[in-house]
Amino acid sequence: MRASSEPAGEAPDLVISAVHKRFQGAGDEQVTALDGVDLAIAPGTMVSVIGSNGAGKSTMLSVVAGNVLPDRGRVLVRGEDVTGAPSWRRVRKISRVRQNPQDNMVSMLTIEENFALALAGKRGRFRMRTPRRGTVREMAAEALRPLGMGLENRLSAVSGTLSGGQRQAIAVAMASLGSPALMLLDEHVAALDPNSAARVNEATERIVREQKITTLMVTHDMGHALHLADRLVMMHAGKIVLDLRDGALTDVTPQHLQERFAALSGGTLSDSALLSVPGGTQWEAGIDG
């Protein structure tokens, strides 16, 4: 369910200003991944980002996270210029959940131990002495309880024995630790089966809405993007070609997005994948690539 419109006059949690990024391609070819991207996101807003493969979606998230530094432009998080800061300096303010469950948790550690590691990272204290076990256990249980999966009673379970959906839900809960300014979701349900994806999406929405975490979510599922978003951004060839929010999102369907994308970019979005949503309605969901 969408929240109300973005708070008027409130300073953005994230500002991306005139960001450019090029990569070395084959031979001497330069590939433009981001071409002057501008985006400002108000506190508590959930923004869906869609677009074809190579549009620049994941590169934009990597620039925000600090895994990739821009060639030009600026990135500000709650007013602080973090443009040149490495990712490890941003972890207190920015959390990221990646597509592959194996990238979000250490498989050989228990759920509790993964929480201890995440908490140490948030505090910037990667030392041999981890936070007190009782403190971690209480924090983990509190973070997992809203998921409604009973994982708060399985803190001693080795993470590698869990399903992909359980691991992604836990990853979202860990990403919410410490009240981050921004949560980045990089196609975090794309590797899951439809039932698991639906449960993780529900858990994600519950967490970010209850904690009012500003969220930037890359997805290939247009139905998912429309259902969860307060705002929807479409990218193509390193540019933002469409930015819908508030009343502009009312009654928008995946078919409308396909038509708008074709008109604005000359490209096409795939309608080959169909996902069921409650009530039996079929949503066209895939994006070519």
Q: Could you tell me the pTM of the whole model? A: 0.84
Structural contact between residues 151 and 144, judged by C-beta atoms closer than 8 angstroms: yes
The residue written with tokens 């941003």 in the block is 90
Q: Which residue has the higher pLDDT, 38 or 126?
A: 38
Indicate the pLDDT class of residue 284, thresholds 50, 70 and 90.
very low
Is residue 33 predicted with pLDDT exceeding 70?
yes
Choose among 41, 46, 6: nearest CA to 205: 46
Is residue 53 predicted with pLDDT exceeding 70?
yes
Is residue 222 predicted with pLDDT exceeding 90?
no
Q: Tell me the fold of 14-284.
A: Rossmann fold (3.40.50)
The Cα-based distances of 61 to 11, 34, 67, 163, 269 in angstroms read: 20, 11, 9, 26, 21
Q: Identify the pLDDT of residue 18.
A: 97
pLDDT per position as a tens digit, 142-154? 999 888 889 999 9
22-102-137 Cα angle (round to 5): 120
**174, exposed or middle or buried, with CB in 10 Å at 0-12, 13-18, 19+?**
buried
Is residue 128 predicted with pLDDT exceeding 70?
no
Is residue 9 predicted with pLDDT exceeding 70?
no
Length of the chain: 289
Is residue 6 predicted with pLDDT exceeding 50?
no
Q: Which residue has the higher pLDDT, 129 or 91?
A: 91
| Mean confidence (pLDDT) of the chain | 84
Every domain of the chain and the residues it spans: 14-284
Q: Which residue has the higher pLDDT, 132 or 258?
A: 258
